Structure 1
Amino acid sequence: MGDYRDKSGSERVDAPEKIDLTNVMLDVYHGVKRLWWLFIGLIIICAVQSYFSVSTSYQSKYVASATVSVTSVGGMDYVDAQSAQQMAEVFPYILTSGVLKDVVAEDMGLDSMPGSIDVKADDGTNLLTISVSGNDPQMAYKTLKSVIKNYPKVAEFVLGETKLTILDETGIPTDTKRVEVIRGSYKRGALKGAIIGCVILLLYVLSRRTVKSRKDLKKNINLQDLGSIPYVRTKKRKKETFYNSVSLLNERISMSYLEAIRKLRIRIMKDVEKKEYQTLLVTSSIPGEGKTTLSANLAISIAQQGKKVLLVDCDLRNPSIAGVMNEQEPHPGLGSVLKKEVPLSEAITNVKLPKERTNENGSLHVIFGGAPDGENSLLIGSGRMRALIEALKSKYDIIILDTAPSELLADAPLLGKYVDAALYVIRYDYTKLREIREGVESLALSGIDMLGYVFNGDNSSGGQGYGYGYRRYGNYGSYGSHYGSYGKYGAYGHYGKMEKGSTDKFGRVIKD
């Protein structure tokens, strides 16, 4: 959309965005980190291609040369520097006339003279350097000998009688430039690959313009900042896949992530309970921003505090809740319920929560998305969906609906008409500001109450998000291994002295 409303509520036209050199340098840094393999690949490919191209097409050139002295013959021999200079000056004309070529060819018994001839005079001396170039080293040398023999005869008509005396010669030549040419070929190829890589990096930087800080969001988006979720790196292994996932059901999840989800839950539930809301829609601008993982973990956290929670996968084109919850068994999806193919009771799945971390009154149920089906998504904005939500309100304290990206599809805005509030997920260094604005505007037009946004995967140096400034795994190492063995405070064992009345990472009050 071309306009956006500022914090005063008035409509404004987007001004051209200023170029922030710091962000540009960060983009270049991240670009190099992400595209280094492309740089190296291009350099290697271009160097190899140039090497083979030159080495296969290269034709050796052999240059036989000799330095001779010029002596004018007139009664008695004498050294004449002027004659040498004149011989060099008239050589192009003699060569153009074809007389020398014919004489040399006849002398060698050939139809034409092989190779090319060049003559240079040393200033102030009677010395000439005669060079013959050709593809055959033996033939180039024979041609040189014939030129030295016959050149004075041809030049006699212009300069008079002269004699050439060989002072130095190369003998049968070798191709000394081949190694140099081949070596230069792969250097030029490598340079070409580096230039192409720089062009690609430049295009990458210019196309990125992604949001890298909450400060940027506060200046450009008229939504409440609900905080950030730190970036967590997971180790992908074939075994124990779930224990390496970003889920609150994973006992190895990092402390910083748990703390961030807990604080996000507190802020959201404060608004929800104050306004007596029961339904919360979670969406983002584009795919890949982590909205599904956040929806699932937020639902788990709220349930552990004693609430009856229902998590619904409303992204029927790309259902992902089952993957986040590590649910391997097939279940009837939301589309099957809306089409009345299965009763609601069969589509609701109970998720077992750890007893030691969960209030006894809390529970979590899930309606999975089922198999991907674009036609089922047409029912998201229908009256059946509205009736289903109203029916579920009487059974649950809060219903969380994970929907398709707002900027990409119309599902979230259509569903927004039936839901109380929305949480907008924005991923660090992933989404462009234009996409965020368009997604927020599209959703806001449905009339839904926008609770605010959460900055997901925050890996910035300035605003490291919740978890006391932790980054990735924070100060505690991978999966909280710093805590040692299992102990008094749950799966993470001992993590410092806990005072009476304080709250541990699972929200439990320490009694002693």
Structure 2
Amino acid sequence: MQSETREITRTYNGQDQIDLMEMLEDYLRCLKKYWLQLLLVLITVAAATVTYMNYTYSPVYSAKITYAVKKTGDTSVDSSLTRRLSSSVGTITDAPEFRDELSANMADSVPEKSFWFSSQYTDGANLYTISVNSGKYKYVDELLDAFQKIYPSWVDKSNGSVALEIVDITNASATPVNEYSLIDYLVKGILAGLVIVVCLATLYVQTLHTVRKEKDMRKVTSRSCVAVIPDVKIKKRSKSTKSQLLISNKRIDWGYKQSLLSVQSRLDMQMEKNGQKVLLVSSTLPQEGKSHISVNLALAALQNDKKTVIIDGDMRNPSVGRMFGFEGQSLGLSDYFDGKADVEEIMIKSGNLSVISAGTRNGGISGIISDSKMQDLMEYLRRNFDFIVIDTPPAGLFSDADILAKYADTVLYVVRYDHASVKEIQEGMSSFIQNNKLSGYVINQSHGSLSSYGKYGKYGYSKYGHYGHYGKYKRYIKTAEKEMNTEDSL
């Protein structure tokens, strides 16, 4: 246990190398999952940007005058003086005295804040250009005329006698220099929207703490991944009803069957080596596929000629019986604990496979279980069966799995791809690790290289509607669908 904790700490504190392909997959998953929300954000930001730019748009008209500086005849000296004169334009034109003199040389009165001056200088040259700018076209040329009359004398006051030669004068055009363009605003709005969308997607990627690969589980446990089970769909007939994902179903994909057989084979080798018979299967949250894994492991054991029994320990929302097609069985585990039936009466047999359903009384296992009766039951099953599977409620929600783990030899933990967070998995798995019961885990419904198999959710994963009132986990619970029967029932 201590060595595993040290291993987890090293992995958790270590800095993983950035996987660009993985990041790209995360961005694509975000786009696929939230494309409508991101599209709405893009449209909203683009519309807000265009609206703001339209509201704040003000046309600017400009006239220009270019001066050549001739004082010493030395190019480098005159160039330095030109640079100084260009940088001083703002100081001169902002002076109240300059503005008063400028107004005195104009026929019309111009509002004080309706115009401004700017200057542009080319490094190494003795030329600089002064622009007169205003939001009113009618003022610009008159302002330029008044400016060129008084400006040279203001230059002489601050720099001594300077010979300024007018090289070029460009009067204002009726077209503003910042011409209005709705297309330009739309492009800018879309770019702004894309920036926000990328930022939101990046935030999603950076805060994504679910499990998608084996390396994500290194933060939880150093135990090995038994298998990565692909996301699949059934080869349905045109008029067939929905079916369960059982390996006994002939329409189930071959790759999916092989992955389950591989899980059973690896567990079988490990359990036989350790003299173990009882496997408990659990998960962190609902809808991770643990019940399907439990049932399929039982079916896989039959192919190895093992006399097998599966126990539905999920008395809150039993599903094993439903998968085999006998939902509503009158007697089961709860009836055994209540003394209403003995072991033989609660077992439904079909060849080498036996099923013990949850029974007629629902509730938490702690309020139903009888320790002595459970010990007797497990002793009977160990004597008469080669492989015993116990399906449980989610360990991240209830203590039922911890209670039942007392009677199991080892635990297989089911982790659904991109479902529960690493922290939630760590909390759900912790007791199995502490008690040294965890044999390993499977990553279920993987969207990796086997993603072409499709989607699990459409084909038989039971919905934990009864768990919907459990606080922060409510987001994992979906409304129950009509249950699906299998052609391969007992």
- TM-score interval, normalised by the smaller of the two chains: 0.5 to 0.7
Q: Which residue of structure 2 lines up, in the alignment, with residue 389 of structure 1?
A: 377
Q: Which amino acid aligns with 2:390?
A: L
Asked if residue 379 in structure 1 is aligned to residue 379 in structure 2, the reply is no
Alpha-carbon shift at residue 211 of structure 1 (Å): 5.3
Q: Which residue of structure 2 lines up, in the alignment, with residue 55 of structure 1?
A: 50
Alpha-carbon shift at residue 142 of structure 1 (Å): 1.3
Residues 37 and 108 from structure 1, CA distance in 2 versus in 1: closer, same or farther, beyond 3 angstroms?
farther
Alpha-carbon shift at residue 314 of structure 1 (Å): 1.1
CA distance in 1 between counterparts of 2:120 and 2:279 reads 93
CA distance in 2 between counterparts of 1:181 and 1:262 reads 60
CA distance in 2 between counterparts of 1:315 and 1:90 reads 84
Instruction: Kindly name which structure, 1 or 2, has the bigger radius of gyration based on alpha carbons.
Output: 1
Q: Which residue of structure 1 lines up, in the alignment, with residue 200 of structure 2?
A: 196
1:165-191, Cα deviation, whole Å (9 max, x unpaired): 995323323363543455334323322
Residues 369 and 442 from structure 1, CA distance in 2 versus in 1: closer, same or farther, beyond 3 angstroms?
farther
CA distance in 1 between counterparts of 2:85 and 2:440 reads 89
Once the two structures are superposed, the pairs formed by residues 299-338 of structure 1 within 5 Å of their partners are 299-303=298-302, 309-322=308-321, 324-325=323-324, 329-331=327-329, 337=335
SS at match of 1:400: strand
Once the two structures are superposed, the pairs formed by residues 413-452 of structure 1 within 5 Å of their partners are 413-417=402-406, 419-427=407-415, 442-443=431-432, 450=437, 452=439
Q: Which residue of structure 1 lines up, in the alignment, with residue 61 of structure 2?
A: 64
1:277-315, Cα deviation, whole Å (9 max, x unpaired): 765433345555432112112223445666664432212
1:377-404, Cα deviation, whole Å (9 max, x unpaired): 3235533752673596499635432113
Alpha-carbon shift at residue 56 of structure 1 (Å): 1.6
| Structure 1 alignment gaps of length 5 or more | 71-81, 135-139, 354-360, 465-469, 475-512
Q: Which residue of structure 1 lines up, in the alignment, with residue 170 of structure 2?
A: 168
TM-score (norm 2): 0.63
Q: Which residue of structure 1 lines up, in the alignment, with residue 70 of structure 2?
A: none
Q: Which residue of structure 2 lines up, in the alignment, with residue 16 of structure 1?
A: 10
Residues 473 and 40 from structure 1, CA distance in 2 versus in 1: closer, same or farther, beyond 3 angstroms?
closer
CA distance in 1 between counterparts of 2:239 and 2:30 reads 30
SS at match of 2:107: helix
8 Å Cα contact 2:284-2:395 kept in structure 1: yes
Q: Which residue of structure 1 lines up, in the alignment, with residue 74 of structure 2?
A: none
8 Å Cα contact 1:333-1:367 kept in structure 2: yes
SS at match of 1:31: helix
8 Å Cα contact 1:42-1:197 kept in structure 2: no
**1:367 pairs with 357, 365, 369, which one?**
357
CA distance in 2 between counterparts of 1:376 and 1:47 reads 47
8 Å Cα contact 2:285-2:394 kept in structure 1: yes
CA distance in 1 between counterparts of 2:359 and 2:421 reads 28
Asked if residue 146 in structure 1 is aligned to residue 142 in structure 2, the reply is yes
**1:411 pairs with 357, 381, 400, which one?**
400
Residues 390 and 114 from structure 1, CA distance in 2 versus in 1: closer, same or farther, beyond 3 angstroms?
closer
Stretch moving more, 425-434 or 287-296: 425-434
Q: Which residue of structure 2 lines up, in the alignment, with residue 132 of structure 1?
A: 133
8 Å Cα contact 2:337-2:369 kept in structure 1: no
Residues 382 and 274 from structure 1, CA distance in 2 versus in 1: closer, same or farther, beyond 3 angstroms?
same
User: How large is the RMSD of aligned CA atoms in angstroms?
Assistant: 5.6
Residues 29 and 377 from structure 1, CA distance in 2 versus in 1: closer, same or farther, beyond 3 angstroms?
farther
SS at match of 2:197: helix
Alpha-carbon shift at residue 201 of structure 1 (Å): 1.5
1:90-121, Cα deviation, whole Å (9 max, x unpaired): 785465324156547x83367x3562132648
Q: Which amino acid aligns with 1:191?
A: V
SS at match of 2:410: strand
Q: Which residue of structure 2 lines up, in the alignment, with residue 293 of structure 1?
A: 292
Residues 201 and 441 from structure 1, CA distance in 2 versus in 1: closer, same or farther, beyond 3 angstroms?
closer
8 Å Cα contact 2:346-2:356 kept in structure 1: yes
Residues 318 and 133 from structure 1, CA distance in 2 versus in 1: closer, same or farther, beyond 3 angstroms?
farther
Once the two structures are superposed, the pairs formed by residues 219-238 of structure 1 within 5 Å of their partners are 220-221=222-223, 227-228=226-227, 230-234=229-233
SS at match of 1:253: coil
CA distance in 2 between counterparts of 1:87 and 1:24 reads 52
CA distance in 1 between counterparts of 2:144 and 2:6 reads 88
8 Å Cα contact 1:349-1:366 kept in structure 2: yes
Structure number with higher relative contact order (C-alpha < 8 Å, ≥ 6 residues apart): 2
Q: Which amino acid aligns with 1:365?
A: V
SS at match of 2:440: strand
8 Å Cα contact 1:64-1:172 kept in structure 2: yes
Residues 133 and 300 from structure 1, CA distance in 2 versus in 1: closer, same or farther, beyond 3 angstroms?
same
Q: Which residue of structure 2 lines up, in the alignment, with residue 4 of structure 1?
A: 2
Q: Which amino acid aligns with 1:376?
A: G
CA distance in 1 between counterparts of 2:369 and 2:20 reads 44
Residues 366 and 229 from structure 1, CA distance in 2 versus in 1: closer, same or farther, beyond 3 angstroms?
farther
Stretch moving more, 193-202 or 334-343: 334-343
Stretch moving more, 431-440 or 299-308: 431-440
Alpha-carbon shift at residue 326 of structure 1 (Å): 5.7
8 Å Cα contact 1:315-1:369 kept in structure 2: no
CA distance in 1 between counterparts of 2:121 and 2:271 reads 97
TM-score (norm 1): 0.61
**2:190 pairs with 182, 186, 191, which one?**
186
CA distance in 2 between counterparts of 1:131 and 1:240 reads 80
CA distance in 1 between counterparts of 2:153 and 2:138 reads 25
Residues 151 and 333 from structure 1, CA distance in 2 versus in 1: closer, same or farther, beyond 3 angstroms?
farther
1:338-374, Cα deviation, whole Å (9 max, x unpaired): 67497579995848x7xxxxxxx43433414779x5x
Residues 239 and 109 from structure 1, CA distance in 2 versus in 1: closer, same or farther, beyond 3 angstroms?
farther
Identity of matched residues, %: 16
CA distance in 2 between counterparts of 1:472 and 1:163 reads 77
8 Å Cα contact 1:116-1:132 kept in structure 2: yes
1:419-459, Cα deviation, whole Å (9 max, x unpaired): 35234134476678887777666237669xx5933535486
Q: Which residue of structure 2 lines up, in the alignment, with residue 400 of structure 1?
A: 389
CA distance in 1 between counterparts of 2:24 and 2:120 reads 58
Alpha-carbon shift at residue 88 of structure 1 (Å): 10
Q: Which amino acid aligns with 1:64?
A: Y
